[in-house]
Each structure stands twice: as structure tokens, then as C-alpha cells.
């Protein structure tokens, strides 16, 4: 005997309903609910976090939105902080390498001065003719050349290293920044950072198809006007300090 509601069953206190197995049914269950299956919970487990009053106040003051949105904001902030810590660690490593490079250059300079023999002052009626600058040999490893030396160099091969360091500089600058604040690595940016003309940058990318493909993939997430209104990239970034201090 199923009833539509509890009031209609008020006069049947001497009776009770049983299921097919003979067990009594629960009191107050409506007829259309007799064979209903129990509802599945939306989640297997719901977690409740208990915090003290001070922590609760800090949580309420953080960000905006619902508790779920605030937790998401906290996790995003933690990820950004982790990224900045990695960037800081990388910068500190490069700074230490730059310091070591400077100390090495100072030591070499002292050795050169000590190795030069002392010369007396010779009386001359005419000024000594200016000597022609010695030919600068092409280095075996361009990465060992300091930024200051490379910046003013015009020897064959120097442009390639300038372009390579310019690509590296943009990547280092973008690390840890939001997408909207990053620079896309376009030929124009490489021209301005390296001081090379358009043909030289184009030639470099044609001779290094792997780098050209990497830049294509790197820039795929940027819009067409990503670098618009950003000005001169030399005002925003420099070659890595691992190669030493320098001025543009």
C-alpha cells in the first residue's frame, strides 16, 4: 500500500507496507519513490578544510570571487612565483659567470702589462708613424668572445653570433612574463638587437633551418601585432650578462 502523501496515511496506523522480500518499507516514502534508485553523489569525496581565524581573514581578503575562484587564483600565483624563482636562479648563475669572466679578463690584462719590457723615452725629431691595426683572427669559439668585443666587431662571422645572442636575449627576457608582455622574435627585432641588416638576418635563418623552424613555433602563440608600440628592443633587453658587461 503506497500513499501519495503522509496525510492520506494518517488513518492507517495499524498497517505497514512490506517489500517483495517481506521487509518493512520506510515510513513516509511516497509511492513514486518506492522503486527509485539512490542518487549518486556528484563527487566521490568532498573535502572540508578547517583553518584558524587569522588564516581565514587572510583568505577572505585575498583576490575576489567565490572560494573556488580564490583557490584557483592562489594556485596560479604559486605557479607564477615558482617561474620567477627559476628565472632568478638562472639570472644569478649567469651573473656569477659574468663576474668570473671579468676577473679572468682582469688577470689577463695584468699578465700582459707585466710581460711588456720597460722602454726608455727616445728623443725623436718626428712623431712616430701610426702603426696599422693588427688583423683580428677569427675565433674558434664565438661564445668565448665577450659582449663588448663582439658588439664592436666586424670580422667575418661576428654577425651570426650577434643574431644568435639576440635570439637568446629575447627568450631570456620573455621567461616568466605573461603572454601579453612578451616579445615575438621577428626578423625586425633581430635586426635591431644585432645591428644587422635585413639581408644578413634572412641569410642567417636560411643557413640555420632548425633555428628558423624553432622561431616559427615559438612565435605561433603571438598575434600579428605582438610587438606593436613596444619601441626599440634595445631599450628593453640586452645580450646575456654571462658574456660580460657592454654598452650598445
The domain limits of the chain are: 1-35, 61-100, 144-248
pLDDT above 50 for 221: yes
Global model pTM greater than 0.85 = no
Instruction: State the chain's mean pLDDT as an integer.
Output: 80
**What per-residue confidence (pLDDT) applies to 123?**
44
* Strand partners of residue 18: 24
Rounded CA separation 118/107 (Å): 20
Buried-exposed string 67-84: b where 16+ CB fall within 10 A, e elsewhere: eeebeeeeeeeeeeeeee
Q: What share of the chain is helix, strand, coil (3-state, %, to 5)?
A: 50, 0, 45
Maximal C-alpha separation, the chain: 140
pLDDT at 66: 87
State the pLDDT at residue 12.
54
Q: 226: which strand partners?
A: none
pLDDT digits (tens, 9 = 90+) for 40-56: 655 566 667 777 778 88
pLDDT of residue 45: 62
Residue 183 has a pLDDT of: 95
Cell 643557413 belongs to 207
User: For residue 205, is pLDDT > 90?
Assistant: yes
Amino acid at each position: 500500500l503506497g500513499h501519495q502523501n503522509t496525510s492520506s496515511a494518517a488513518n492507517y496506523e495499524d498497517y505497514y507496507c512490506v517489500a517483495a522480500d517481506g521487509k518493512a518499507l520506510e515510513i513516509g516514502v511516497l509511492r513514486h519513490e518506492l522503486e527509485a534508485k539512490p542518487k549518486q553523489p556528484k563527487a566521490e569525496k568532498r573535502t572540508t578544510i578547517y583553518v584558524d581565524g587569522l588564516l581565514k581573514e587572510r583568505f577572505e581578503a585575498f583576490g575576489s570571487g567565490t572560494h573556488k575562484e580564490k583557490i584557483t587564483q592562489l594556485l596560479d600565483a604559486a605557479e607564477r612565483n615558482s617561474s620567477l624563482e627559476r628565472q632568478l636562479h638562472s639570472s644569478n648563475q649567469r651573473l656569477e659567470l659574468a663576474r668570473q669572466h671579468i676577473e679572468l679578463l682582469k688577470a689577463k690584462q695584468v699578465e700582459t702589462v707585466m710581460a711588456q719590457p720597460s722602454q726608455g723615452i727616445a728623443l725623436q725629431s718626428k712623431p712616430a708613424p701610426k702603426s696599422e691595426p693588427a688583423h683580428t683572427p677569427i675565433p674558434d669559439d664565438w661564445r668565448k668572445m665577450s659582449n663588448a668585443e663582439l658588439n664592436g666587431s666586424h670580422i667575418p662571422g661576428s654577425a651570426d653570433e650577434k643574431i644568435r645572442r639576440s635570439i637568446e636575449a629575447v627568450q631570456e627576457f620573455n621567461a616568466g612574463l605573461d603572454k601579453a608582455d612578451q616579445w615575438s622574435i621577428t626578423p625586425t627585432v633581430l635586426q635591431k638587437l644585432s645591428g644587422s641588416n635585413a639581408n644578413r638576418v634572412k641569410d642567417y635563418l636560411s643557413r640555420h633551418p632548425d633555428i628558423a623552424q624553432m622561431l616559427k613555433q615559438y612565435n605561433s602563440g603571438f598575434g600579428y601585432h605582438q610587438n606593436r608600440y613596444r619601441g626599440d628592443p634595445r631599450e628593453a633587453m640586452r645580450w646575456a650578462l654571462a658574456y660580460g658587461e657592454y654598452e650598445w
